[in-house]
């Protein structure tokens, strides 16, 4: 949810404009109110554990040969 915010803050910092995170976050809420309303997590129900898994990867350290993957059971 904060990826757009990261890009904007990074762009501003690259152009020597320093804005605090809390201020950018409140500005994004004001500017992109419809996007915030439309962003909803989907609710789901699975019959048993090990039926649904969530996978995420972290590739920022790939230059050093380090890639991290994490899995978690989605049973609620």
pLDDT digits (tens, 9 = 90+) for 2-30: 667 888 888 999 999 988 888 888 888 78
Round to whole Å and give the CA distance between 47 and 49.
Answer: 7
What pLDDT shows up at residue 71? 94
- pTM above the 0.75 mark? no
58-69 average pLDDT score:
93
What pLDDT shows up at residue 57? 93
Residue 20, token pair as written in the block: 């605090």
pLDDT digits (tens, 9 = 90+) for 46-63: 899 999 999 999 999 999
Which residues have C-beta within 8 Å of that of residue 68, sequence separation ≥ 6? 57, 58, 61
**Residues 52, 75: contact at Cβ < 8 Å?**
yes
């Amino acid at each position: 949810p904060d990826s757009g915010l990261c890009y904007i803050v990074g762009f501003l910092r690259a152009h020597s404009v320093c804005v605090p995170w809390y201020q950018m976050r409140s500005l994004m809420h004001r500017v992109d109110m419809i996007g915030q309303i439309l962003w909803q997590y989907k609710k789901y129900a699975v019959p048993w554990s090990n039926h649904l898994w969530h996978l995420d990867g972290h590739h920022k350290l790939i230059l050093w040969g380090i890639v991290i993957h994490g899995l978690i059971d989605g049973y609620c």
